Structure 1
Amino acid sequence: MTIKYTEDHEWIAVEGDTATVGITQHAQDALGDVVFVELPEVGKTYAQKDTAGVVESVKAAADVYMPVSGEITEVNEALRDDPSLANSDPMGAGWFFKVKLTNAAEVAALMDEAAYKAFAA
């Protein structure tokens, strides 16, 4: 599994032609307590950088962007029921959606963990 990061503070974990997407620890720290998430529709196709969802906290609302182009194959219904999962386990149980990649080359252009840590500092 390859994990990459975007400048918009999403993470993407790629396994084969499918990837899981969520917000980073840095993003959830900045947002504070997450109270609502709007998840994309399963079956919908997005281009890289399209808005695919929204995360709302007690402090602010922020768009969740597609790190890569692809089709939504699954959304995290547990997150819809308990948005605080985005705070308590942003890189695990707090994932947002899964996407079938349509352009795997886009993954290579994203930041690795070291680059993201330097960017977020």
Structure 2
Amino acid sequence: MSTPDDRRYTEQHEWALVQGGDVQGRAGTATVVRVGITDHAQDALGDIVYVQLPEVGAEVAPGNPIGEVESTKSVSDVYAPVAGVVAAVNEALADAPETINADPYGAGWLVEITVAGAEEDPTAGLLDAAAYQALVDVA
């Protein structure tokens, strides 16, 4: 299973990727973080048949559930890796949730979260690829 080096990971098997460039808003500079579930997570879930995502504009906090991924095996919560406001959801997953199985790090992304006032990388406190790979290798 792959673990790309260009993003950070949670112990709950979400990935977070800072999108290029900051966005300017009413509150000043903000950073956009794209979120999805890892290859390990989609493999453990099996065939994904349904995805429930938050509404655009919803405030999220790290470690709190922001949605669910349902597979033929189970239903699993998806947790926010960073604090912020949901800026976008991957609408394509409503009709093609299996995209997560086929491309968890690309077209299978779930949400984008705007992190306001982020002076540093908002994902810096998360696991890097090597630490995440060590976590799943133990499991």
Aligned to 1:6: 10
Structure ID, larger Rg: 2
Superposition pairs of residues 34-113 of structure 1, within 5 angstroms: 34-102=48-116, 104=118, 106-113=122-129
2:130 is matched by which residue type in structure 1? A
> Is residue 46–residue 66 contact of structure 1 (8 Å, CA) maintained in 2?
yes
Counterpart-to-counterpart distance in 2, 1:61 and 1:118: 25
Kindly report the root-mean-square deviation, in angstroms, between the aligned alpha carbons of the 2 structures: 1.6
> Mean alpha-carbon deviation: is it higher for 9-18 or for 98-107?
98-107
How many residues are aligned here? 121
Structure 2, unaligned runs of 5 or more: 1-5, 23-30
Structure 1 residue 80, shift from structure 2 partner: 1.4
Counterpart-to-counterpart distance in 2, 1:75 and 1:14: 15
Structure 1, unaligned runs of 5 or more: none
| TM-score normalised according to structure 2 size | 0.82
Q: Which runs of 4+ in 1 moved over 6 A?
A: none
Structure 1 residue 42, shift from structure 2 partner: 0.1
Counterpart-to-counterpart distance in 2, 1:69 and 1:45: 8
SS for the counterpart of 1:116 is: helix
Structure 1 residue 103, shift from structure 2 partner: 6.7
**Between the two proteins, what is the percent identity of the paired residues?**
50
Structure 1 residue 102, shift from structure 2 partner: 3.7
Aligned to 2:25: none
2:63 is matched by which residue type in structure 1? K
